[in-house]
């Protein structure tokens, strides 16, 4: 059966010396220390080890073949978002990364679909790059962070961006980054284990309660990691709306139930009962295979959780590719 993996990350093999170019630090650099591995450095400080499957399309395709994945949706690694930088510099970084992803997709159009990144701290520049990348580069959609510096995803400043995304008919992939409370979590990889799921729930709740799905009903948004902490705490979120509308329903009077089934999540939950929960909460046509390839916290055998589930062939076709296709392209005729 066809399989599309909507959550995979890629990086160019070589990055420009952005700190030198822009005159200040904070940017990522790669130090290739063997033929097939590199250290990801931020201001010379070790951040993460990468293997060549993070930049080499051929290495990725070989692993995709092993796991029967026909198509990977490529997005940048959130540490490259650069929302914290000066907007014009983040714009420069975005164009470089989008040109790279578009080049990989052009070379292997049967194996990859590209998502771009945008200088979201300046919505006007983000819209300009979104227009360029979707019209001239063939980029299908855009990855954005779970918040943009001090803005949550309901910020009024982002309205023009959502409107443009609707008009351009591109999909959005919301990925956690810059995890809340990380300074209080120095041990046990907690920013990744506790902060990331909270970030994704923050993003979903902000978009629901901020009325984003109401104002922009044609937006196609997918959230990483099965929606993070949102599905597991949805009972609490909904109860909170019911008992304290004075606090929760201040921007959107509609019950959050109305928005379940209006957005997508990936399948990256590592737990069969939680996959069932996603399907019952969001609908089978709103859950799409996503692995976080090629990182260790991802599904190491992409697609295995869905494969091992009790869903029938028709249901698996949604999880494996049909939900992804509708997110990427919309429903024909709608």
Which C-beta is closer to Co ion: that of 247 or that of 297? 297
Which C-beta is closer to Co ion: that of 92 or that of 292? 292
Instruction: Give the per-residue contact string, 11-40, with Co ion (x = CB under 5 A; - = no).
Output: ------------------------------
- Binding segment for Co ion (CB under 5 A), chosen from 121-129, 165-173, 291-299, 308-316, is 291-299
What 3-state class would DSSP assign to 130?
Answer: helix
Query: From the CB of 309, what's the least distance to Co ion, in Å?
Result: 22
Query: From the CB of 310, what's the least distance to Co ion, in Å?
Result: 27
Q: Which residues contact 204 (CB under 8 A, 6 or more apart)?
A: 174, 223, 227, 228, 230, 263
Query: From the CB of 192, what's the least distance to Co ion, in Å?
Result: 10
Which C-beta is closer to Co ion: that of 129 or that of 292? 292
Cα 162 from Cα 123, distance rounded (Å) = 9
- Binding segment for Co ion (CB under 5 A), chosen from 22-30, 210-218, 257-265, 286-294, is 286-294
Cα 113 from Cα 75, distance rounded (Å) = 9
Cα 25 from Cα 19, distance rounded (Å) = 5
- Binding segment for Co ion (CB under 5 A), chosen from 94-102, 246-254, 256-264, 285-293, is 285-293
- Binding segment for Co ion (CB under 5 A), chosen from 10-18, 79-87, 252-260, 292-300, is 292-300
Q: In angstroms, what CA-CA distances link 180 with 16, 34, 56, 234? A: 29, 34, 32, 20
Q: Residue 30: is the preceding peptide bond cis (ω within 30°)?
A: no
- Binding segment for Co ion (CB under 5 A), chosen from 28-36, 96-104, 259-267, 290-298, is 290-298
143 binds Co ion, rule: CB under 5 A? no
Which C-beta is closer to Co ion: that of 164 or that of 229? 229
**The sheet that has 37-42: what strands, in order across it?**
28-34, 37-42, 45-51
Which C-beta is closer to Co ion: that of 122 or that of 292? 292
> Partners of 265 in the beta sheet?
223, 287
Query: From the CB of 292, what's the least distance to Co ion, in Å?
Result: 4
292 binds Co ion, rule: CB under 5 A? yes
Read off the DSSP letter of residue 186. Answer: -
Which C-beta is closer to Co ion: that of 96 or that of 295? 295
Query: From the CB of 114, what's the least distance to Co ion, in Å?
Result: 15
Query: From the CB of 235, what's the least distance to Co ion, in Å?
Result: 26
Query: From the CB of 17, what's the least distance to Co ion, in Å?
Result: 26
Residue ranges of alpha helices (H) inside the chain are: 18-22, 57-66, 87-107, 123-136, 159-168, 190, 196-209, 212-215, 230-243, 245-248, 272-282, 304-307, 313-317, 323-329
- Residue number with the smallest Cβ distance to Co ion: 292
- The helix (H) or strand (E) run that includes residue 132 is helix 123-136
178 binds Co ion, rule: CB under 5 A? no
Q: In angstroms, what CA-CA distances link 34 with 27, 30, 31, 62? A: 22, 12, 9, 20
Q: In angstroms, what CA-CA distances link 329 with 170, 212, 301, 325? A: 8, 20, 26, 6
Query: From the CB of 90, what's the least distance to Co ion, in Å?
Result: 19
- Binding segment for Co ion (CB under 5 A), chosen from 20-28, 91-99, 181-189, 289-297, is 289-297
Query: From the CB of 224, what's the least distance to Co ion, in Å?
Result: 6
Do 224 and 7 contact (CB within 8 A), yes or no? yes
Do 60 and 72 contact (CB within 8 A), yes or no? yes
Which C-beta is closer to Co ion: that of 292 or that of 299? 292
Cα 164 from Cα 168, distance rounded (Å) = 6
What are the residues binding Co ion (CB under 5 A)? 292
């Amino acid at each position: 059966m066809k399989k599309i993996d909507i959550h995979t990350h890629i990086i160019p093999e070589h990055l420009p010396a952005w700190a030198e170019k822009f005159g200040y630090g904070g940017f990522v650099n790669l130090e290739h220390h063997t033929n097939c591995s590199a250290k990801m450095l931020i201001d010379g400080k070790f951040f993460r080890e990468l293997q060549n499957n993070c930049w080499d399309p051929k290495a990725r395709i070989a692993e995709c073949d092993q796991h029967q994945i026909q198509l990977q949706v490529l997005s940048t690694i959130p540490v490259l978002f650069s929302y914290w930088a000066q907007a014009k510099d983040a714009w420069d970084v975005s164009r470089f990364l989008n040109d790279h992803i578009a080049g990989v997709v052009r070379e292997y159009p049967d194996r990859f679909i590209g998502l771009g990144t945008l200088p979201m701290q300046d919505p006007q520049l983000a819209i300009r790059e979104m227009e360029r990348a979707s019209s001239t580069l063939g980029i299908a959609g855009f990855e954005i962070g779970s918040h943009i510096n001090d803005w949550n995803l309901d910020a009024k400043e982002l309205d023009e961006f959502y409107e443009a995304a609707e008009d351009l008919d591109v999909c959005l992939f919301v990925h956690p980054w810059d995890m809340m409370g990380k300074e209080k979590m120095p041990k046990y990889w907690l920013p990744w284990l506790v902060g990331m799921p909270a970030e994704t729930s923050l993003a979903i709740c902000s978009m629901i309660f901020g009325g984003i799905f109401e104002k922009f009903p044609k937006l196609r948004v997918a959230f990483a990691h099965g929606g993070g902490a949102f599905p597991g705490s949805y009972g609490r979120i909904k109860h909170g709306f019911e008992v304290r509308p004075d606090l929760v329903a201040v921007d959107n009077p509609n019950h959050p139930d109305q928005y379940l089934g209006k957005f997508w999540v990936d399948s990256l939950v590592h737990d069969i009962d939680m996959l069932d929960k996603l399907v019952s909460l969001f609908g089978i046509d709103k859950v799409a295979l996503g692995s976080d390839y090629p990182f260790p916290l991802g599904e190491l055998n992409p697609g295995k959780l869905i494969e091992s589930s009790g869903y029938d062939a028709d249901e698996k076709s949604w999880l494996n590719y049909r939900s992804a296709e509708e997110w990427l392209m919309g429903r024909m005729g709608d």
